[in-house]
Amino acid sequence: MKNAMEIAMEQDAPRQNLAISAYRTLKHDIIRGRYAPKEKLLMSRLKECYGVSTGPLREALSQLVADRLVVAISQRGYRVAPMSLAELNDIYDARAQLEGLILRLAIERGDDDWEASVLATAHRLAKVTDISSPDELLDGWDLRHKAFHTAIASGCNSPHLLQMRNTLFDQVERYRHLWLQETVMSPAALEQKRQEHAALVEVILARDAEKAAILMRDHLMTPVPIITRVLQDRGIS
Amino acid sequence: MKNAMEIAMEQDAPRQNLAISAYRTLKHDIIRGRYAPKEKLLMSRLKECYGVSTGPLREALSQLVADRLVVAISQRGYRVAPMSLAELNDIYDARAQLEGLILRLAIERGDDDWEASVLATAHRLAKVTDISSPDELLDGWDLRHKAFHTAIASGCNSPHLLQMRNTLFDQVERYRHLWLQETVMSPAALEQKRQEHAALVEVILARDAEKAAILMRDHLMTPVPIITRVLQDRGIS
DNA sequence: CTGTGCCAAATTGTTAAAATTTATTGATAA
DNA sequence: TTATCAATAAATTTTAACAATTTGGCACAG
């Protein structure tokens, strides 16, 4: 019988070492909510579940600690990092501020190729409703949505700022996943997002940094009330 | 005979697990230039040098990879991350931008306690010349300098933004160390810094976000030309 | 109800060795 | 001389078995 990791890896051609593979699948499972916040991560259970021994497993876990998705308690092993309304608010605020800064820089520094890639990814995102299947729509929309925002950010031309953006996104994604599950991409929400994206593209091409930063912050903060409700329903304060 | 890690740990009371200790001492040694950029980090050598076995050692190294101080090449072990003028410029630019953003937020959000801690740490930094010994002056100045800037940043009131600031500082510190070694804190440089700090405190207390962000960016960028020259002298482009 | 001491379970670390991969060397052929 | 290539050496990566330490729970006594 195949273990969880082998199944998850079947599509990835470049077979890296076991620690990195375990890190990726574990991260994926935590973000998607397979393990609850504060849940204990038993060494023995993970070993048989992912089919790796303690060495690579501890490597993966200590990297997840650096990502703040797992917390380590000395001599008491690892637990999934807790979730809280306080962290939700801080994480989304930090992301909105950072994304605003990056957008300002992108508008200041971005060249013609950047403008072209923003337009191209925006177009691809707007046309995503053509896909019929419901599950495929959500996956396809999320993929193109990420590509759109990444294209915008890449105009800032700073690998280190983009790296920090990625780090923060990993931390936000566990909360964001709650929002995706909740809205299930209703046509109304999808239409609202479509309009926000169109407005963003317009002010970006007009190089209006001030207006763009404000639009971006509002756009990123819209999921917060919904996620707040979901967390409260689950008894998380 | 004691190994490098035991010597470095003798002052630390809270004895954590070996992986974390090895991580800290290795990071310290890389930042201080004990290992050259691109130098190969032999497993066998590190094992006997730091007195730990492969398990904790690999944990420490994989965390340093996350910090971008070490690079891992699949099946070919670990190397100290390379240094370059391109990275120097990007890293200092990213830091100046992020610190500017955080300062704006701190001026917007900081309360009276924040103002008080900025004043207090600024005063302690200005009085550092009282210490006589040359080596103690450098260490003491650097410590109080960091405390001053951390006090300013903490006003933004966002744990996640401060965490990103720390991450970026770890990456910058290897370059910054070259600057500290080069200037050796000449009285002239020290006086210039003193004036910059005084100007910063003034505009911060006046809550002038625009002027403060510009002063902060200039203040952070001053070491770049000197570090550029040091790197070029070492044949690094 | 509250400590105390013991036992089981889990973490943490070491060692040795297997499995794989990369680097080197040296002989052979063009 | 130069290039190729197989054999060998070296290093990484992983596993497995074991020792040491620590934690948590639970019976039991006060």
Which value, to the nearest 10 degrees, does the dihedral of the CA atoms of residues A23, A29, A30, A34 take?
A: -150
CATH number, span B4-80:
1.10.10.10
Element (H, E) at B40: strand B40-41
| Token pair recorded at residue B188 | 């002239």
Superfamily (CATH H level) for B85-233: GntR ligand-binding domain-like (1.20.120.530)
How high is the pLDDT of residue B139?
81
Q: Which long-range contacts (CB under 8 A, 24 or more apart) does A11-16 make?
A: A16/B74
SS3 state at A75? coil
Distance from CA of B59 to the nearest CA of A (A): 5
Q: Of A165, A179, A174, A173, nearest to A227 (Cα)?
A: A179
CA distance B169 to B145: 13
SS3 state at A41? strand
Q: Which residues of B touch A94 (CB under 8 A)?
A: 158, 160-161, 164
How high is the pLDDT of residue A154?
98
How high is the pLDDT of residue B6?
57
Nucleotide with smallest C1' distance to residue A16 CA:
D13
What spatial distance separates the first Cα and last Cα of chain A, rounded to whole Å? Answer: 41
CA distance B109 to B155: 7
How high is the pLDDT of residue B15?
56
Per the DSSP assignment, residues forming a β-bridge with B72 are B78
Tell me if A158 sits within 8 A of B90, measured CB to CB.
yes
Tell me if B35 sits within 8 A of B41, measured CB to CB.
yes
Stretch B64-87: mean pLDDT, rounded?
97
Q: Beta carbon of B186 within 7 Å of strand C?
A: no
pLDDT at A129 over 60: yes
Q: Is A171 on the interface with B (CB under 8 A)?
A: yes
Band (pLDDT 50/70/90 cuts) for residue A6 is low
Distance from CA of A17 to the nearest CA of B (A): 7
Q: Is A85 on the interface with B (CB under 8 A)?
A: no
Task: List alpha helices for A80-237, DSSP H.
Answer: 85-109, 112-126, 134-153, 159-183, 187-205, 209-221, 223-233
Of A17, A74, A90, the CB nearest to B16: A74
Tell me if B75 sits within 8 A of B36, measured CB to CB.
no
Tell me if B222 sits within 8 A of B95, measured CB to CB.
no
Cβ neighbourhood burial of B85 (10 Å; 0-12, 13-18, 19+): middle
Q: Is B195 on the interface with A (CB under 8 A)?
A: no
Q: Which residues of A touch B17 (CB under 8 A)?
A: 74-75
Per the DSSP assignment, residues forming a β-bridge with B40 are B79
Alpha-carbon distance values, A113 to A119, A127, A155, A211 (Å):
10, 21, 9, 22
> Who has greater pLDDT, A185 or A34?
A34
pLDDT at B5 over 70: no
How high is the pLDDT of residue A190?
86
Q: Beta carbon of B128 within 7 Å of strand C?
A: no
pLDDT at B7 over 80: no
Residues of chain B with pLDDT > 70, as a percent, come to 92
Q: Of B62, B155, B139, B144, nearest to B101 (Cα)?
A: B155
Q: Which residues of A touch B91 (CB under 8 A)?
A: 160
How high is the pLDDT of residue A31?
96
How high is the pLDDT of residue B11?
45
Task: List alpha helices for chain B, DSSP H.
Answer: 4-9, 18-31, 43-50, 54-66, 85-109, 112-126, 134-154, 159-183, 187-205, 209-221, 223-233
Nucleotide with smallest C1' distance to residue B75 CA:
D12
pLDDT, one tens digit per residue, over B144-155 is 999 999 999 999
How high is the pLDDT of residue A12?
42
Tell me if B100 sits within 8 A of B113, measured CB to CB.
no
Q: Of B4, B19, B172, nearest to B81 (Cα)?
A: B172
SS3 state at B206? coil
Q: What is the average pLDDT score of chain A? A: 91
Q: Which nucleotides of D are covered by protein (CB under 7 A)?
A: 11-17, 22-24
Residue type at A215 in one-letter notation: L
CA distance A186 to A189: 5
pLDDT at B230 over 60: yes
Domain with CATH 1.20.120.530 in chain A: 85-233
Stretch B97-125: mean pLDDT, rounded?
97
Residues of chain A with pLDDT > 70, as a percent, come to 92
Least confident of A31-35, A101-105, A171-175, A233-237: A233-237
- A59 and B59 within 8 Å at the Cβ level: the answer is yes
How high is the pLDDT of residue B13?
42
Domain with CATH 1.10.10.10 in chain B: 4-80
**Sign of CA pseudo-dihedral A225, A201, B158, A87:** positive
How high is the pLDDT of residue A5?
57
Q: What is the average pLDDT score of chain B? A: 91
Locate tokens 């990297």: which residue?
A63
Which conformational region is residue A157 in: left (phi greater than 0), alpha (psi within -120 to 50 degrees), or beta? left
Band (pLDDT 50/70/90 cuts) for residue A7 is low
pLDDT, one tens digit per residue, over B166-221 is 999 999 999 999 999 888 778 888 889 999 999 999 999 999 999 999 999 999 99
Helix axes A223-233, A159-183, angle to 10 degrees: 60
CA distance A196 to A148: 12
pLDDT at B4 over 80: no
How high is the pLDDT of residue B132?
66
pLDDT, one tens digit per residue, over A176-226 is 999 998 887 788 888 899 999 999 999 999 999 999 999 999 999 999 999
**Protein CA A231 to sugar C1' D19 (Å):** 45
pLDDT at B137 over 90: no
Alpha-carbon distance values, B42 to A178, B34, B35, B149 (Å):
44, 14, 12, 37
How high is the pLDDT of residue A140?
86
